[in-house]
Amino acid sequence: MSVRVRFAPSPTGLLHVGALRTALFVQLFARNQGGKLFLRIEDTDRSRYNPASEQEFIETLNWVGITFDEGPHVGGPHSPYRQSERKEAGIYAPLAQQLVDAGHAYPAFDTADELTEMREIQQINKQPTGYFGGKWRDATPDMVEAAKAEGKPYVLRQRVPRGIKITVEDAIRGRIEFESDTLDDSVLIKTDGMPTYHFASMVDDHLMETTHIMRGEEWVSSSPKHALLFDQFGWPRPTFIHLPVIVGSDGKKLSKRHGATRVLDYMAQGYHPHALKNFVALIGWAPGDDRESMTEAELIAAFDLRGLQPSPGKFDLEKLRWLNGHQIRQMTIDELLENLLRYVNDPYVKSYWNAPDSDGDIPNPEVWPRLERLAGAAAGDIEYFKAALALEQERVQTLADFGEALEFFLVEQPAMDEKAVKKWLTQPHVPALFEHIIANPGSTTEHYDALLRAYGEANGFEKLGPIVHPTRVALTGKTFGPGLFELMALLGPARVEARLRRALAAD
């Protein structure tokens, strides 16, 4: 049988990094194996289902470059792909009854108060909490019929065999054994007739011919119940693959303090979709060598289940920034310009940088005005803008970084770093240096290189620092940036003179 894998989210919130990694791994595996990838929406919890979340999942995954062969948005031979629609189509009820008829499931009429009392007694007696039978597991047919006749609401529960071992083969962890006596009888069908995750997902995985179930390791404890369901139906089990948890660089549970966790926020912060994909692919998986920067084709070719690791995968934001900077440096200037303009014109980018957080604070109030300036500048002197972009391309790590990096090219009077001004512009040789530059204007890198080197030698400076640093501060307001001679040539003699005279006047 050819490989068929699924990404099956419950869209109740936002798409986060953990879900993105699952979607990415199933995509890489499907493409590596020449198989099929489908999207299934697990919306049986109707009280929490959010249609906007479903749409965000699809659009965000599409931005990252994860597309599906089948799903609710593209159709396919196993429609419908939303579990609520599958329930309405009558797919689950006859299969649930099949389990009841075979003795593998039973109706349970316990009230909410009775279930609460059961848990309290278990806790008092320091027993495992859960439903291990109550009075309904072994109820007689007469008791069940009487309860139904009274109109008592009930659920259908899985009958877990007692006194046996249930073995699950996991592609990462190998053979895992579970004592059946530690497993409670989970609800398969709720009182409203809606199936639970435990039931619907396994039924759908069989009917949709899923060959590999790839999901987070939090489902390891449920895997014996799921494997048992396949056995109770007499269906072949798919391969279970439980992915390791993602932690921060400090080894603790991933949270906002380790970086954004909503995938769309990485777009707003200026990360390229392939850099994010490349980065996420390496959290808990290794290609078998020391490669880090990989193309789409290389990721697909290298992806192998044997490269998945059972230990927690670390989310290292600095590594993501490095990969993103590498991605930016691989672009031509025209490609970079296209990506940058698409980024600054995206409505979500504007809303992200202007939206206050839970404390009422803007992420960084200086970012959006700078990004907005980029769009305006690109609509003006495009050749000047592209030349400035090229100078900063080697230095930035995200598209958002260009707002600050290009600012001194695009404003008449860049903001000055007070410490840099105090350190470099107060030195006694600076006024004469600036007057010399003003008196010898030029328009090429070579001109300014020769001019400043000759001035330094003529005035007894053994190193070029005392010449370069004050000039850079006067022109850019900073002590760092692209090559001084290159940026002077790009600024041109008029801007160079105006900024040097400003510095002289301030002195």
13 falls in which pLDDT band (50, 70, 90)? confident
> Three-state SS for 251?
coil
- Predicted confidence at residue 81, as pLDDT, reads 98
User: pLDDT for 130-168, tens place per residue?
Assistant: 899 888 999 999 999 999 999 999 999 999 999 999 999
* CA proximity to 65, closest of 255, 281, 252, 216: 281
Question: If you write DSSP's letter for every residue of 286-316 in order, what string do you get?
Answer: --SSS--S--HHHHHHH--GGGB-SSPEEE-
Domain annotation covers residue 368: no
Shared-domain flag, residues 278 and 179: no
* CA proximity to 284, closest of 94, 25, 6: 25
Domain annotation covers residue 392: no
Q: For residues 301-314, give the mean pLDDT.
A: 94
Shared-domain flag, residues 154 and 295: no
Domain-terminating residue out of 243, 278, 311:
243
Residues forming the active site = 256
Domain annotation covers residue 388: no
Shared-domain flag, residues 499 and 427: yes
- Parallel/antiparallel/unpaired status of strands 239-243 and 212-216: parallel
Domain annotation covers residue 329: no
Asked whether the beta carbons of 342 and 63 are under 8 A apart, the reply is: no
User: pLDDT for 438-470, tens place per residue?
Assistant: 999 999 999 999 999 999 999 999 999 999 999
358 falls in which pLDDT band (50, 70, 90)? low
Shared-domain flag, residues 70 and 114: no
Domain annotation covers residue 77: yes
Shared-domain flag, residues 205 and 274: no
Asked whether the beta carbons of 177 and 166 are under 8 A apart, the reply is: yes
Shared-domain flag, residues 230 and 262: no
CA dist., res. 357 & res. 355, Å (int):
7
Domain-terminating residue out of 296, 321, 346:
321
CATH number of the domain residue 179 falls in: 3.40.50.620
Domain annotation covers residue 297: yes
Residue 423: domain span: 412-507
Q: Copy the structure tokens of residue 51.
A: 């249609």
User: pLDDT for 101-134, tens place per residue?
Assistant: 999 999 999 999 989 999 999 899 888 888 998 8
- Structurally, the chain folds into a number of domains equal to 3
CATH number of the domain residue 438 falls in: 1.10.10.350
Shared-domain flag, residues 261 and 297: yes
How many helices and strands (H and E) does the chain possess?
23, 11
**Mean predicted lDDT score pLDDT of the chain:** 94
Domain-terminating residue out of 305, 321, 337:
321
Shared-domain flag, residues 434 and 486: yes
User: pLDDT for 226-277, tens place per residue?
Assistant: 999 999 999 999 999 999 999 988 888 877 777 767 899 999 999 999 999 9
Shared-domain flag, residues 96 and 238: yes
Domain annotation covers residue 227: yes
Shared-domain flag, residues 262 and 287: yes
Domain annotation covers residue 351: no
Q: Copy the structure tokens of residue 116.
A: 């609460």
Shared-domain flag, residues 193 and 50: no
Class of residue 266 by CB neighbours under 10 A (exposed 0-12, middle 13-18, buried 19+) = buried
Shared-domain flag, residues 234 and 254: no
363 falls in which pLDDT band (50, 70, 90)? confident
